[in-house]
Amino acid sequence: MCGIVAAVGTDNVLPILMEGLKRLEYRGYDSAGVALVQAPGRLGRAREVGKVAALEQALVAAPLTGMTGIAHTRWATHGKPSQDNAHPHMSGRVAVVHNGIIENHLALRAELMADGFVFTSETDTEVMAHLVERELQRSDSLLQAVERAVARLEGAYALGVIDAEAPDRVIGARQGSPLVVGVGDHGCYLGSDPLALLSVTDRFIYLEDGDLVVVNQGGCTVHGLAPDGTRQEVVREVMRFEHDDLAVGKGEFAHYMLKEIHEQPVAVANALEGRLGADRVLIEALGPQARELLADTRQVHIVACGTSYHAGLVARYWIEELAGVPCQVEIASEYRYRQVVAPPGTLFLALSQSGETADTLAALRHARRRQGDDAYIGSLAVCNVPGSSLVRESDLSLMTHAGPEIGVASTKAFTTQLTALMLVTLALRQVRGGDPELTARLVHRLRYLPTLLGDAVALDEEIRGIADGLASHRHALFLGRGSQMPIAMEGALKLKEISYIHAEAYAAGELKHGPLALIDETMPVVALAPMDDVREKLNSNLQEVRARGGELLVFADPESGVVAGEGVTVVNVPACCHYLAPIVYTVPLQLLAYYVAVARDTDVDQPRNLAKSVTVE
C-alpha cells in the first residue's frame, strides 16, 4: 500500500525522507516521489516509476534539498503506475501526498476543471492538490485551506500537504487511512507507520480519524474533529514504540521472508509469554474485561482478509471443538456489505497483522454500531501492531508480538495469530468449564510449540532440495482435511503470492466431486498428513490421485502411514498433537513457497501487484 513520509527539520530532510521510504518498501508499491520546499516560494519535486532506488538515482543526478518535505511510495488504485501519476501531486504552490481513495474525485475534478485547473494525472489524489491551492486564495493559513479542502472529500485518506509560501510546516490529515506523527529531538515527522520513522524517533502520536495536524520543527498541534463537526486543538498521547529497531534488518538471510520464517520459534514464544499459567491460560492477560466478555459469549464471528482469514478458519475448528461455541468465519470485504444476522451474545473477533486493513476495520465499525442493539457483546482484535486502529477501536486486544513483519507474504504474523487464537480458544473453554485435564495437556503442549517450530524450520535444506521439481509447473493442488484444510489454503496462497504459480486448495474428501478431473502428470498435488482421526481417509484420497498419474508431495507425521515411492515424495514433519499441527505444518509450506519462488527468480519480499498493509478497500 501507499506509504507517506513527511519531515520538518533543522537541516536538509531529504535523507530522512528517503530512509523513511526505504523502510516503507515492505508495503508494496509501484512508484516513488518526493517534494521539498527548497526556498520560500520554491518547490522541488522528483518522481520515478519503480523502486525507491530509482528515485535515489534520479536525485543524485538532480539533487533536491530543503528543511521541509513530503515523500511517497504509491500503490496505484486510480491510474496506472507512471511518472505522471506518482505522488506528490502539485498545484501552484502546493504539493500533496495521499494514501487512500477519494470516492467523489470525478465530481470534484469536473468542478475544478470548470474553475480552470489543469489536471496532469489520472489519480483521484490530484483533486486534493487543486482544492488546497484554490482554498489558499481565500484562507488565512495552510491549515485552514486544508481543513476546507478535506471537508469536500468523501472516502478515505491520509494526507501530507506542503505550501511553498509556508516553508516551516507540513499539514497532515487522517480519515480512514493510517497516519502517525513522529516526535523527534531535531524535527517532527509524519509516517504511514512508525517503522518509517524509527531512524529518527521512537515517540509517536497515533492520529485519529478526523484529525488535522500541523507539524513544525519543534513539535506538532493536533486539531480534532468534534461530533458536531467543529474543530478544536486536542492533546493526543505520545507513545513510545516498543519494537526493537534492530529487528528490521535482513541479517544473514537472502530475503526478509526467509528471515521471518526462521524467526517463528522466537515469535511464537513471545506470543505465549506471560499468558500461560501452570495448567491454564491466564485470562487476565487478555485484558481486564476479558473474563466477563468471554463468559457472556454465545457465538463468535471471526472477520479477516487473506492469510488472517485462514487463521480464522483454523480457529473455527478449535473454538467449536474445544470450547463448544458456535463460530463463523467470513472475509471482511463480504461481511461489511451484507445483512449479517448476529444473535445476542456474539463476540466479534477481528484478525489483522497491521491493524489497519481497511475492510476489517470497516467490518469492526459496522459491528460496533450494532453493539447497543443486543447483537454483538463486544469486540476482540488479534493484531501485531500496538496502537493500530483495530487495537484502539476494539474492546479487547490480544497482541501477537511477532515483531515487525516486512515480507509482503505473511509468515510469522500467521503462526503467531494462530497461537493467539489457541489462547483465546482455551480461555473460552476455561470460562465455560471445559474439562481442565485436556486444557492442561494443551497448555503443556503450547509450551513445547516453539521447540517444535524450531524442528520444522530445520526442514529448510530438505525442502530447498525438492522445490525445483515444483518450480517448473504452472499449476498445483493442495489438499488437507479438518483443521489442515485452511493450512492447505494458506500453502496455496503463499505459492500463488510469491511464485505466481496457480494453486488451489481443496478439502481432500471433496476431490472426487470435481477437481479430480484436473489430475494428470502435469498437476502436482501437495498434501498434509498429520496424525489425526481422518488420516486413513486422507490416505485413500491420495491413492485416488496417484491412480490418475498425479505426483504427490506429502508433508506427513512419521507415523501417518504415508509411504514414499514412485511419484510420491514424503517429507516427515515433527510429530505433534493434532490440535497444534496446523501451526507446525504451516512452516514447511512457507519454505516450499519460498524456495519455489527463489527458483523462479521472483521478487520474493515484494511480489508483483501486492501490498502489505492493505489500507484501501
Residues in contact with ligand HGA by the rule CB under 6 A:
1-2, 74-79, 98-101, 123-125, 615-616
- Closest approach, Cβ 123 to ligand HGA, in A, equals 4
Show the cell assigned to 120: 496532469
Q: Which residues of 343-369 are buried (b: 16+ CB within 10 A; e: fewer)?
A: eebbbbbbbbbbbbbbbbbbbbebbbe
Contact 206, 180 (CB under 8 A): yes
Q: Which is nearer to ligand HGA, 74 or 316 (CB)?
A: 74
Closest by alpha carbon to 572, among 561, 544, 582, 265? 561
- Reduced DSSP (H G I as helix, E B as strand, rest coil) percent helix, strand, coil of the chain, to 5: 40, 25, 35
- Closest approach, Cβ 77 to ligand HGA, in A, equals 4
Contact 115, 134 (CB under 8 A): yes
- Amino acid symbol at 380: L
**Catalytic hit among 22, 51, 412, 612:** 612
CA distances from 542 to 505, 539, 576, 592 (A): 14, 5, 21, 20
Q: What is the largest CA-CA distance in the chain?
A: 79
Q: Which is nearer to ligand HGA, 568 or 616 (CB)?
A: 616
Q: Which residues contact 493 (CB under 8 A, 6 or more apart)?
A: 306, 307, 310, 503
DSSP H/E element including 462: helix 460-471
Q: Which is nearer to ligand HGA, 77 or 371 (CB)?
A: 77
- Helix intervals (H) in 66-200: 105-114, 126-136, 142-150
Q: Which is nearer to ligand HGA, 75 or 478 (CB)?
A: 75
Is the Cα torsion angle 248, 249, 254, 259 positive or negative in sign? negative
Q: Which is nearer to ligand HGA, 108 or 511 (CB)?
A: 108
- Closest approach, Cβ 81 to ligand HGA, in A, equals 9
User: Phi/psi of residue 476, each to 5°?
Assistant: -155, 150
Angle of helix 581-599 relative to helix 436-457, nearest 10 degrees, comes to 20
Contact 360, 351 (CB under 8 A): yes
- Closest approach, Cβ 5 to ligand HGA, in A, equals 14
**Catalytic hit among 2, 220, 383, 576:** 2
Closest by alpha carbon to 318, among 585, 586, 581, 587? 581
Contact 229, 244 (CB under 8 A): no
Q: Which is nearer to ligand HGA, 74 or 275 (CB)?
A: 74
CA 280 distance to own-chain centroid: 30
CA 56 distance to own-chain centroid: 27
CA 277 distance to own-chain centroid: 30
CA 53 distance to own-chain centroid: 24
- Residue of this chain nearest to ligand HGA (CB atom): 2
Q: Which is nearer to ligand HGA, 75 or 595 (CB)?
A: 75
- Closest approach, Cβ 4 to ligand HGA, in A, equals 9
- Closest approach, Cβ 109 to ligand HGA, in A, equals 13
DSSP annotation string for 301-333: EEEE-HHHHHHHHHHHHHIIIII---EEEEEHH
Q: Which is nearer to ligand HGA, 76 or 238 (CB)?
A: 76
Q: Catalytic residue at 612?
A: yes
236: three-class secondary structure by DSSP: coil
Q: Which is nearer to ligand HGA, 100 or 187 (CB)?
A: 100
- Amino acid symbol at 8: V
CA 587 distance to own-chain centroid: 19
Q: Which residues contact 336 (CB under 8 A, 6 or more apart)?
A: 359, 362, 363, 366
Q: Which residues contact 227 (CB under 8 A, 6 or more apart)?
A: none
> Cα separation of 523 and 193, whole Å?
42
Q: Which is nearer to ligand HGA, 178 or 450 (CB)?
A: 178
- Closest approach, Cβ 155 to ligand HGA, in A, equals 9
Q: What is the CA radius of gyration of the chain?
A: 25
- Closest approach, Cβ 277 to ligand HGA, in A, equals 43
- Closest approach, Cβ 505 to ligand HGA, in A, equals 28
- Closest approach, Cβ 381 to ligand HGA, in A, equals 22
Q: Which residues are catalytic?
A: 2, 612
